[in-house]
Chain A
């Protein structure tokens, strides 16, 4: 049953997007948040692939010369080519996310957002510092040793 002039799979991708945002804001574990970021990426990719598959779902590969007569059944190659790029960029974002989490973990020994927030608050409030000052201090101290 199409709604808003969209197919079911496109609506499914949009629903996946909102569920991923919901998981992102309600998860207590930082690793779980990173996992939901990857799901967010996957939902956007699903949406574009679904848009490209409106005309047909035959892969856009000309295996035989006769395939040139079947281009009406083929899916759109342009979003697919762009989404391969998007997947690799999403991976880069995840790698940087995990390494930033690692930097926080070295200092606070926890990946629980609540404890992290409490500890950061205890260090920064009243001392007139911001978080980047503390992390930078730590790095220079370790570099000297």
Chain B
């Protein structure tokens, strides 16, 4: 039964990919990409990884789509050049890929595939010792019921730290690259969503539920699927909903930036302190209360950190979208 679902999802993914490849209008590409991400997150769910499916659905079907829509909306505007003439932007290529391009692509990809076929290691054996160890011992050593949460928040907390650091670097790069001296945000522009009453009220009803869901994911990350990343993304999604319905653009970005720095420092401190877990110095370290407290604290810190990072990224993109030039 599972096999047939998997084959159906693979066929749908292939169809989605074909639609993306043959389409030239950017708005349609964005919608097809969202659908593609949702289908591929279904594949992850069937293969037994609900955490990855949740993260992929959140990132692929809403975060990336939001960024591309904002950029595309910015590109679509008419510009005025130095001589005062209107310049229509070219966002849709006049023609698709030409024949030499396709041939070159085939040669390039064929070469790569030939290399792969030449060096393909037959019969890869996964090392199962680590898997068995984590599955058997995580409940006793770390606590909680979600083994992935245990790996992310205790066994490999430094990986998580590195990933949070990369998000900080991405936020810094986006803030730096999107800063241009002449930008200013005009006041009083209504967002398009306010004209549509159905969308307006449905977002208004859904957005508190999204916030609650995000907090639930963070707080329950150690006993069920979910955790800091997914919950943080949902919380950031709540702020986007608020922007869309209330048209708020003067959000407290500097405070959020400060908060992100403080939370990141706290995460570093927690990561350093986990070295001492397992030694005799830490009392009560094998009680359920201690373990749950440690996991919830780490999950909350990562969740707040990710929510702040995504909030600032989204805010920078909103500033681009609202800038008049």
Contact = CB atoms under 8 A, between A and B. Distances in A.
Do A and B pair up? The answer is yes
A82 B155 CA distance: 12
A62 B148 CA distance: 11
A28 B95 contact: yes
A39 B17 contact: yes
B106 interface: yes
Contacts of B55: 84, 87-88
A112 B72 contact: no
Instruction: Report whether over half of chain A's contact residues are helix, strand or loop; otherwise say mixed.
Output: helix
A52 B159 contact: no
Contact of A38 (B60, B93, B135, B225): B60
Contacts of B13: 12, 16
Interface in B274-315: 306, 313
B25 to A, nearest CB: 10
B134 A61 contact: no
Interface in A25-76: 25-29, 31-32, 34-36, 38-39, 42, 45-46, 49-63, 68, 71, 74-76
Nearest to A21: B109
Given A58-B48, A85-B159, A31 B72 contact: yes
B229 A88 contact: yes
Given A27-B97, A62-B145, A95 B160 contact: no
Contact of A77 (B36, B64, B135): B135
A92 B20 contact: no
B150 to A, nearest CB: 8
B46, B135, B160, most chain A CB atoms within 10 A: B135
Nearest to B92: A29
A42 B139 contact: no
B105 A91 contact: no
B76 to A, nearest CB: 10
Contacts of A38: 33, 37, 60, 64
A144 B182 CA distance: 9
A29 B24 contact: yes
A78 B134 contact: yes
B56 A78 contact: no
A10 to B, nearest CB: 9
B126 A54 contact: yes
B262 interface: no
Nearest to B33: A35
A19 interface: yes
B182 A99 contact: no
B60 A85 contact: no
Classify chain B: how many residues form its interface, as a range: 35 or more
A94 B93 contact: no
B205 interface: no
Contacts of A29: 24, 26, 29, 91-93
B56 A42 contact: yes
A127 B174 CA distance: 30
A21 to B, nearest CB: 6
Contacts of B317: 98
A143 B43 CA distance: 48
A142 to B, nearest CB: 5
B167 A92 contact: yes
B224 A5 contact: no
B90 interface: yes
B90 A112 contact: yes
A80 B123 contact: no
B253 interface: no
Interface of A: 4-6, 8-9, 12, 14, 16, 18-19, 21-23, 25-29, 31-32, 34-36, 38-39, 42, 45-46, 49-63, 68, 71, 74-78, 80-85, 87-96, 98-103, 105-106, 109-115, 139, 142-145
Closest 7 A/B residue pairs (Cβ): A92-B170, A75-B48, A5-B123, A28-B93, A57-B48, A110-B90, A53-B47
23 contacts: A5-B124, A8-B10, A9-B43, A22-B108, A25-B109, A26-B104, A26-B105, A32-B29, A39-B17, A46-B43, A51-B126, A56-B48, A59-B48, A80-B49, A81-B152, A81-B159, A84-B52, A94-B64, A98-B68, A103-B177, A111-B75, A111-B89, A112-B91
Given A39-B36, A96-B177, A110-B89, 13 more contacts: A5-B122, A12-B13, A28-B97, A49-B44, A55-B128, A76-B126, A89-B163, A95-B67, A96-B170, A98-B67, A99-B173, A99-B177, A109-B89
